[in-house]
């Protein structure tokens, strides 16, 4: 299952139609060539997961487009440095062996969930964040919402994270039986929760360091409610959804904060498709529901995408940080090693209208005042290799610790 397929049908109330990802697109590296072979969006996302191609940041330092050869050479080098992506490839093979030992292939969710990892890593890199540090926050738990068979959650558990798999049993591809089979076969401790996001849902009082909300937003009746609710209980969110740059009749909407409401059978003959946002509409929704946009990229037909045409399909991927929960972060973290001093940007928010104070402890010594305000960012340009730094966010009275982050330096 690719990112957009990750949870597209499984968490809404009604039984949905067949997935809408058999989209025909021009080959990723031959879009300008009218005779180029055609591939599905699933295959394009698979290629993106392997080589991080076709992103807004794909330019040389002088702003010109990089050559394909240079781009692939650099990306191949980065792929070789990604043990998480290698682990994902191995886990996908292992999971399919387990799946086929218990049920026929037709029983299982048919898409390649773990191809998500490459795109998630790019979002993290663009934001200067590390997946493990992001997910190992004060709450000690993450959630995969719309988990399908749970492949992504089981991978994240394998690397040491505590995971909730959240889905709606009546509309899950196999009514969550697949996730339960894998949980037993793996002797897993993941928690499986049954939640209908089209209701006034609760998540049993949980708090999460990160949530994965992939391919779900345009299947929700009230995406504003869902994102606002999640901003109150999660520090970070990985989000993906379909977007459009124009209507079917050519009216441009990409620069306007708009959403298009689909007719019941307009998109892939699937009545569980509702809201298709413009890029600016999606960003406005993110801002109004209590999130900050840390990194953003899109894949697919990025010139003239529409809300419903299967051949003009564009997908947006976002890494979000909640502004509704107290948080202090460092980016980059780990800080690249340097023979003298290095720099990281410290950002904080109290999550309320009340101001706070940020202190830093160096090598476990007495705290020093770093900043004072409700939210903000400031550079720490005196980070040295071999020393430890912990930034702590307090209330204004310096009596209640709201959040903290340890800043490390990367090994050379």
Those residues whose C-beta lies under 8 Å from the C-beta of residue 249, and which sit 6 or more positions away, are none
83 and 178 fall within a common domain = yes
| DSSP per-residue string spanning 353-377 | SS-EEEEEEETT---EEEEEESEEE
Domain boundary pick from 294, 322, 350: 322
Q: Which of 59-68, 351-360, 363-372 has the lowest mean pLDDT?
A: 59-68
As a whole number, mean pLDDT of residues 117-126 equals 90
Q: Output the average pLDDT for the chain.
A: 82
351 and 288 fall within a common domain = no
As a whole number, mean pLDDT of residues 203-221 equals 88
Residue 93 host element (H or E): helix 83-102
316 and 331 fall within a common domain = no
What region does 180 belong to: left with phi over 0, alpha with psi -120 to 50, or beta?
Answer: alpha
- Cis peptide upstream of residue 332 (ω within 30 degrees of 0): yes
As a whole number, mean pLDDT of residues 382-405 equals 93
Q: If you count them, how many residues does the chain have? A: 412
Residue 78 host element (H or E): helix 68-80
Q: Measured between alpha carbons, how far is 151 from 155 in angstroms, rounded to an integer?
A: 6
Domain-located, residue 121: yes
Domain-located, residue 107: yes
Residue 12: predicted pLDDT = 42
| Total domains, the chain | 2
Residue 84 belongs to what domain range? 3-322
- Cis peptide upstream of residue 334 (ω within 30 degrees of 0): yes
Residue 41: predicted pLDDT = 52
Angstrom CA distances, 244 to 55, 155, 218, 233, stand at 17, 32, 12, 29
Domain-located, residue 220: yes
206 and 344 fall within a common domain = no
Instruction: Please indicate whether residue 235 or residue 57 has the higher confidence score (pLDDT).
Output: 235
Q: Measured between alpha carbons, how far is 111 from 239 in angstroms, rounded to an integer?
A: 18
Domain-located, residue 353: yes
Helix (H, G, I), strand (E, B) or coil at 247: coil
Helix (H, G, I), strand (E, B) or coil at 134: helix
Give the rounded distance of the alpha carbon of 340 from its chain centre.
34
The answer to whether the beta carbons of residues 265 and 308 sit under 8 Å apart is no
CATH, residue 222: 3.40.50.150
Q: Which of 79-83, 116-120, 320-324, 394-398 has the lowest mean pLDDT?
A: 79-83
pLDDT at 188 over 70: yes
Nearest alpha carbon to residue 329 among 398, 377, 385: 377
Instruction: Please indicate whether residue 84 or residue 50 has the higher confidence score (pLDDT).
Output: 84
As a whole number, mean pLDDT of residues 329-342 equals 87
The pair of structure tokens assigned to 131 is: 């997946």
317 and 266 fall within a common domain = yes
Angstrom CA distances, 29 to 36, 75, 323, 379, stand at 9, 14, 38, 39
340 and 205 fall within a common domain = no
Confidence of residue 57 (pLDDT cuts 50, 70, 90): very low
Residue 191: predicted pLDDT = 95
285 and 340 fall within a common domain = no
Domain boundary pick from 322, 357, 373: 322
| DSSP per-residue string spanning 138-206 | TT--EEEES-TT-HHHHHHHHTT--EEEEE-GGGSTTTTHHHHHHHHHTT---EEEE--TTSS---TT-
Residue 155: predicted pLDDT = 95
145 and 276 fall within a common domain = yes
Domain-located, residue 123: yes
Residue 126: predicted pLDDT = 93
- End-to-end CA distance of the chain: give it in Å, rounded: 36
Q: Measured between alpha carbons, how far is 309 from 268 in angstroms, rounded to an integer?
A: 8
Confidence of residue 81 (pLDDT cuts 50, 70, 90): low
Those residues whose C-beta lies under 8 Å from the C-beta of residue 251, and which sit 6 or more positions away, are none
332 and 257 fall within a common domain = no
CATH, residue 378: 2.60.40.10
Domain-located, residue 412: no
As a whole number, mean pLDDT of residues 343-347 equals 94
**Most confident range, picked from 32-46, 76-90, 135-149, 284-298:** 284-298
Residue 44: predicted pLDDT = 56
Confidence of residue 85 (pLDDT cuts 50, 70, 90): confident
pLDDT at 403 over 50: yes
pLDDT digits (tens, 9 = 90+) for 3-43: 334 443 344 443 333 333 333 233 333 333 344 444 445 55
229 and 306 fall within a common domain = yes
Using CA atoms of 42, 43, 44, 48 in order, give the dihedral in degrees to the nearest 10: 100
Residue found under tokens 């699937």: 270
The answer to whether the beta carbons of residues 260 and 91 sit under 8 Å apart is no
pLDDT at 1 over 50: no
Domain-located, residue 169: yes
Domain boundary pick from 322, 338, 354: 322
Please list the residues that pair with 342 across neighbouring strands. Answer: 383
Domain-located, residue 145: yes
249 and 367 fall within a common domain = no
Parallel, antiparallel, or unpaired: how do β-strands 208-214 and 234-243 relate? parallel
308 and 331 fall within a common domain = no
pLDDT at 341 over 70: yes
The pTM of this model reads 0.76
């Amino acid at each position: 299952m690719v990112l957009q397929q990750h949870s597209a049908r499984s968490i809404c109330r009604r039984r949905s139609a067949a997935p809408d990802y058999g989209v025909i697109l021009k080959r990723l590296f031959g879009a300008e060539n009218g005779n180029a072979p055609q591939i599905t969006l699933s295959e394009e996302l698979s290629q993106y997961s392997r080589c991080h191609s076709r992103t807004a940041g794909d330019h040389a330092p002088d702003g010109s487009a990089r050559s394909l050869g240079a781009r692939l050479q650099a990306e191949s080098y980065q792929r070789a440095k990604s043990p998480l992506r290698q682990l994902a490839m191995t886990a996908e093979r292992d999971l399919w062996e387990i799946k086929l030992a218990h049920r026929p292939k037709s029983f299982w969710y048919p898409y390649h969930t773990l191809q998500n990892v490459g795109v998630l890593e790019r979002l993290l890199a663009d934001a200067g964040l590390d997946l493990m540090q992001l997910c190992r926050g004060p709450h000690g738990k993450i959630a995969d919402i719309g988990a399908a068979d749970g492949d992504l959650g089981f991978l994240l558990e394998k690397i040491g994270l505590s995971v909730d798999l959240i889905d709606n049993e009546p509309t899950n591809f196999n009514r969550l039986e697949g996730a339960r089979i894998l949980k037993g076969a793996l002797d897993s401790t993941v928690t499986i929760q049954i939640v209908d996001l089209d209701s006034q849902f609760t998540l049993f009082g949980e708090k999460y360091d990160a949530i994965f909300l992939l391919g779900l937003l345009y299947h929700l009746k009230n995406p504003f409610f869902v994102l606002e609710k999640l901003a109150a209980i999660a520090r970070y969110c990985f989000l993906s959804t379909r977007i459009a740059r124009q209507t079917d009749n050519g009216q441009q909407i990409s620069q306007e904060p708009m959403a298009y409401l689909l007719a019941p059978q307009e998109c892939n003959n699937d009545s569980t498709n509702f809201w298709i946002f413009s890029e600016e509409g999606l960003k406005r929704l993110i801002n109004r529901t209590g999130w900050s946009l840390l990194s953003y990229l899109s894949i697919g037909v990025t010139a003239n995408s529409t809300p419903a045409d299967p051949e003009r399909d564009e997908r947006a991927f976002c890494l979000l940080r909640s502004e509704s929960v107290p948080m202090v972060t460092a980016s980059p973290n780990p800080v690249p090693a340097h023979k003298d001093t290095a720099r990281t940007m410290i950002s904080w928010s109290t999550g309320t209208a009340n101001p706070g104070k940020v202190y830093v402890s160096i090598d476990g010594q007495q705290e020093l005042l770093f900043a004072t305000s409700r939210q903000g960012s400031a550079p720490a340009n005196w980070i040295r290799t071999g020393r430890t730094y912990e930034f702590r966010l307090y209330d204004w009275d310096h009596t209640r610790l709201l959040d903290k982050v340890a800043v490390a330096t990367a090994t050379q």
